[in-house]
Amino acid sequence: MRDVVEKASHCAWWIHYHIVFRVKYRRGLLDEVVVRIIMLTAKEIEERYDIEFEQIGCDKDHVHILCTAHPKIAAGQIIRVFKSITTRE
């Protein structure tokens, strides 16, 4: 985790979101292949959107994400983008 204040032309921020996605009914569906797809998809999301995933951790039934984003991007939008793109993959 970086302890640096990010700056843009009209704002400065230090925002970190800790998001947990769980598998429906807590089924252990996240095997090595699925975790690899999640990691690759997160890299693609970083390139396309103004979101930086600092750490991603996966267990058999949930995913932890520590990310930072520009204040113009709401936490709900980060969740929506991540869920929609990883689900398609």
Per-residue pLDDT at 82 exceeds 70: yes
Q: Would you say the pTM of this structure is higher than 0.75? A: yes
For residue 2, the model assigns a pLDDT of: 66
CB 79, CB 53: distance < 8 Å:
no
Q: What's the CA gap between 69 and 89, in Å, rounded?
A: 23
Q: What's the CA gap between 75 and 89, in Å, rounded?
A: 22
- Residue range 4-48, pLDDT digits in tens: 888 888 889 899 999 999 998 989 999 999 999 999 999 999 999
For residue 7, the model assigns a pLDDT of: 87
Q: Which CATH superfamily is domain 6-88 in?
A: Transposase IS200-like (3.30.70.1290)
Per-residue pLDDT at 85 exceeds 70: yes
